[in-house]
Amino acid sequence: MANKNLANAKKAKNDEFYTRFEDINKEVQAYLEYDPDVFRGKIVLCPCDDPYESNFFKFFALMFNKLGLKKLIATCFAGSPIANTQLSLFDDEQVENKTTRVPHKIEITEVEEPPESGLQGLENIEWLLANRKNVLTRLEGDGDFRSDEITKLRDEADIIVTNPPFSQFRDFVAWIFEVQKQFLIIGNMNAITYKEIFPLIKENKMWLGVTEFNKGMYFYVPDGFVYSPTYKFEREIDGQKVNRVAGCCWFTNIDHGRRHKPLELMTMEKNLKRSRELKGKDSYDKYDNYDAIEVPSFITIPDDYDGAMGVPITFLDKYCPEQFEILGATESEGKGFSKGLWDETSKVSQALVNGQKVYKRIFIKKVEHKNEKQTKSAKADGVSNCPLCAIGNDANKSKIWLIKEMDADHVTAWSKGGVTDVSNCQMLCKVHNRAKGNK
Ligand SMILES: C[S@@+](CC[C@H](N)C(=O)[O-])C[C@H]1O[C@@H](n2cnc3c(N)ncnc32)[C@H](O)[C@@H]1O
């Protein structure tokens, strides 16, 4: 029991990682580039965010007018294991006896021009609250995201944005998916293959954000944070204590441009000739226990193979649903996950190549590309394979573009209800795709 308590305390302590403003800004800008109105008229909820600490709250408060937000709500959880030093928020608080946060919520509906110093610092939250349209209230419960009062706020919100407690990621995602909301959250890349998460990714109900996850992310940590003995990265950024977490990534269902950029790949033959990872091989390896070829990295995915391919999960960072379909994952991630590719008689659920286990794999297959069909029929008709060039009157009217000169386009914009599957996609030359924007 004592061990369990210790483990829980350790987990909870690891939940006290605070996201940097810069990382939030970098990620959100990519969604705005794709659709400048993505937040316009929306209610944003940050449900694991003490406004006095959270850069999510600060970011959205600072950008309130620029994004055109209708309302910003942040709620703070009481159960922090870290005694905090924030000012007494409510008159009846005993500051000296305070060992946990007082659960509260802040609701912002109007932000006047922010002071030059931005919103960093307590005094600026007081400044936001000086406007009577903005309120800070004490919560009835402890601010747990699953509680009725926070769930009500979830129902009121349009977009949920936060870095939820690492130890409760599964529950948090399940809570978001109880309703249809947009979300942008941080999690660990290992979550990709959780049996509760992977099906959502496979069905394109959730995907990875824009920031590449193989770089690791720095988070602010409390003063008492103890580094692992092998830690060899920065310990301080901008005068604040930080810890680098490997394999962190953003999970979202908000569309962004990177997702629609097909990977530029080589044929099987060229890969076998040029790739260091495939050196000395005449052909790609086949798994002993899965009906698929082994592809060691996203860069060695052949663009001319039509069967099932096993790829490392880092592929999802580059995944473009118009280019590949996700068939499933190895059975070690969940029963039935490989969609019949597994040879059950092998009794080994991890993928094997010549008897050797390989790392986690997901299985993908080339989408019979709209571009190929489009190009074939355009050539037959003697017109450009960009349908918008084909109806124009200039020299491009009959130009056949290369795939790298084109981008995938939603026929009906995703923000207007268009789905991300082949039926709703066409390829346009880059100029026309850019001009079409989110229309
Ligand atoms: C990883 S930290 C991130 C904090 C903040 N969202 C940020 O990104 O800077 C997770 C936060 O969730 C809070 N938390 C832990 N359990 C919670 C729960 N059940 N409901 C709501 N918040 C919780 C923790 O106290 C912690 O502040």
* pLDDT, mean of residues 371-399: 90
Per-domain boundaries in the chain: 2-259, 261-366, 370-436
* pLDDT, mean of residues 64-93: 74
Residue 116: predicted pLDDT:
73
How far is the centre of ligand 1, averaged over its atoms, from the C-alpha of 163 (Å)? Answer: 7
- Quick check: CB of 250 below 6 Å from ligand 1? no
* pLDDT, mean of residues 246-270: 95
Going by pLDDT thresholds of 50, 70 and 90, the confidence category of residue 85 is: very low
**pLDDT by residue (tens digit) across 198-248?**
999 999 999 999 998 777 899 999 888 999 999 999 999 999 999 999 989
Lowest-confidence segment of 100-104, 206-210, 338-342 by average pLDDT: 100-104
* Atom in ligand 1 nearest the alpha carbon of residue 166: 1
* Atom in ligand 1 nearest the alpha carbon of residue 55: 9
d(CA 407, CA 386): 10
- Quick check: CB of 144 below 6 Å from ligand 1? yes
Ligand 1 binding pocket mutation candidate from 8, 10, 11, 15 (most atoms within 8 A of CB): 15
* Atom in ligand 1 nearest the alpha carbon of residue 164: 10
How far is the centre of ligand 1, averaged over its atoms, from the C-alpha of 252 (Å)? Answer: 18
392 has pLDDT over 80: yes
1 has pLDDT over 50: no
* pLDDT, mean of residues 281-293: 98
Pick the CATH number of 2-259 from 2.60.40, 3.40.50, 3.30.70, 3.30.310: 3.40.50
Let me know if 291 is exposed, middle or buried by CB neighbors in 10 A (0-12, 13-18, 19+): middle
Buried b (16+ CB within 10 A) or exposed e, 297-307: ebebbbbebee
- Quick check: CB of 207 below 6 Å from ligand 1? no
Name the closest-CA residue to atom 26, ligand 1: 16
Name the closest-CA residue to atom 9, ligand 1: 18
> Residue 252 CB: number of other CB atoms within 10 A?
22
* pLDDT, mean of residues 244-253: 94
Which structure tokens are listed for 419? 């789905």
Going by pLDDT thresholds of 50, 70 and 90, the confidence category of residue 125 is: confident
- Quick check: CB of 163 below 6 Å from ligand 1? yes
